Amino acid sequence: MSTKEAYKQKIEAEVSLVEAQLAELKAQANNSAADARVAYAEQVGKLEDGVTATKAKLKELGEANDDAWEHLKDSMDSAWRAVSTTASNIAAKFKTA
């Protein structure tokens, strides 16, 4: 397996974990009081946007030739860090609410 393919699979696995976390957060939001539900929906929307953007970058990475993928990897790492941080922050907010 190439380094590119291994990296892609790693990010795909991490995206799957965040998607599972997102489903759990949505369920918690739906069980919240109406005013909290609105705030949670906003946060969950940001996370969904990040996951969607990450999937688009993964697709681009998968289609890139071997020379270009290293450059895309840096962009992917940056985008994924943002999504991962957002997921952690939202999960922490849900736990304290």
* DSSP letter for each residue of 37-61: HHHHHHHHHHHHHHHHHHHHHHHHH
Q: Tokens 């190439």 sit at which residue?
A: 2
Residues 6+ apart with CB under 8 A from 12: 58
Domain boundaries, the chain: 3-96
71: helix, strand or coil: helix
Q: How confident is the model at residue 13 (pLDDT cuts 50, 70, 90)?
A: very high
pLDDT of residue 20: 93
pLDDT of residue 12: 92
What confidence tens digit (pLDDT) does each residue in 33-86 have?
Answer: 777 778 788 888 888 999 999 899 889 888 888 778 788 888 888 888 998 998
84 or 97: which leads in pLDDT: 84
d(CA 77, CA 61): 11
pLDDT of residue 97: 61
Q: How confident is the model at residue 15 (pLDDT cuts 50, 70, 90)?
A: very high
Instruction: Using a cut of 0.85, tell me whether the model's pTM lies above it.
Output: no
